[in-house]
Structure 1
Amino acid sequence: MPWADSLLEIWGEPLFVQPVYSGGAVMGWLALRLPSVPLPHSEEAFAAMFCDLAGSAFYREKRVSMMAEANRMLDEAAKGVVGILGHALAMKDPYTVGHQINVANLAQAMAKRGGYDETFQETVYYAGLVHDLGKITIPSSILSKPGILSEIEFSIIRNHALYGWEILSSADLPWPLADIVIQHHEHIDGSGYPFGLKGDAICREARFLSVADVVEAISSDRPYRPGLGIGKALGEIRENRGSWYDPEASDLCMEVIGDGFAFDTENYKLFIQ
């Protein structure tokens, strides 16, 4: 211990030196300059207790750091899973993936505008990225049909929220995406689907997605019609604010768009080769 020789030169003898162990390894040393020797047993016991506590603190800090790194890796893995699911849908229906990206961005902007914390913002964003994932089970002939859907075809489309829940509920993710996805077509007056939930029975994240989803769908091009424009989309929200759509989410959406938010049309080209 070269540092001990330096201490002896500065302090002289006698010295009391004791290692600080943490996790079986020496993490530091306690060095005391003594007025006399030997050190009383009570003080020696106190010094040993101090070293034990210091070692425990070092070990706890190390464990916290390791847990933080493990959580970061799990979080990145979860985001990777969401990305994989999005790419899987892109192979079936690139249009829907572009729609999902736009909805995710709008829902996140609404949450940020409303002062919601980063966890909520992240949750609505990743829920938006996969909210139509269940459409991967819908025949392409229905998804890409240029004309108006028949009643049977529309009933098949409506099942996509259930199919999305089935897919997402099998994955262990840090966000309740399955529950949000299955509720994003519910209306606060109970007229939505698949369960006819009302008011607060619909999770707040799904209420945000419901508004973002409708605004993006109306304003953008669809396989069966050209986009109707943001004015028409906001008119739909104003007309059904408080009946179909959550008032807070509706107001935040209109404020965000009023502040200049615009959908990125390039998102529809990301997965088209």
Structure 2
Amino acid sequence: MRILVTGTEGQLARSLLEQAQGVNDLSVFALGRPDLDLTRPHAIAGALAGVDCDVIVNAAAYTAVDQAESEPDIAHAVNCDGAEAVAQAAARADIPFIQISTDYVFNGQKDGAWNEDDSPDPLSVYGKTKLAGEMAVQAAAPKAAILRTAWVYSPFGKNFAKTMLRLAESRDELSVVADQTGAPTSALDIAGGVIAVARNLAARPDDPALHGVFHMTAIAGSTAPTWADFAEQIFSASRALGGPSAQVRRISTAGYPTPAARPRNSLLDCTRLEQAHGVRLPFWEVPVANIVRRILADS
């Protein structure tokens, strides 16, 4: 099976490339700027013309959540118009399509995990453009699978784990938000889940149970972690490896104002994904130590 993933530097694209290494029946190749530029939706059809693949995964996105508040047009061009153009190209070529989306489509006010039937109500430009992208993709490619994930981290790119470890090199104490809950999710685990979904779509492209919106995050457990809990887990793993650590001072969201509002509750119910695709990611704590080890080794 050959998977084309859009974007070359993102956490998921790099994780997919790594996960495919050494797998005899799997090839993943990435296409990004300048050859494929989602800010230029009109050029995407030409960039994808004649591409030989079994599944297309659109992992490219405008993910600078706070910056999007001042660049809504660019965010919309990438997250909506660009996603739509990639989906249209996939549909024309009759290639199964996977769109990566986010917990930010919800307002975070629900008590308990969000399921796919809950009404989206994004708080930020980023969330609004990703929701618009979901709707555009569903219209352009009705057989697509849309995978919402959350709190993504990995050895690659920019993410919360890398930021915490970098700041701990020069600070003894860090203030971390403790009133937002979610499920920290390894991009490597997401990549494994995406590959499983891709195999299903390639084998049964017309199976309606495989299409539509699904949630794909790590399992949060009985007590959902906060960003502060995640930071403490990161520092515990780092200390065990002789790396930097800091004391975590728990603060409220109000104590750390940002241009873009964040959901208070980002927990996603992943039952539908397991039932339809047989995919279940591990508990959130499981991959932390390995990813911290890799981040430290690369720093």
**Structures share a fold, TM > 0.5?**
no
**Normalising by the residue count of structure 1, what TM-score does the alignment of the two structures yield?**
0.31
Q: Decide which structure has the larger Cα Rg and report it.
A: 1
Larger RCO (alpha carbons 8 Å, 6+ apart): 2
**Normalising by the residue count of structure 2, what TM-score does the alignment of the two structures yield?**
0.29
More strand by share: 2
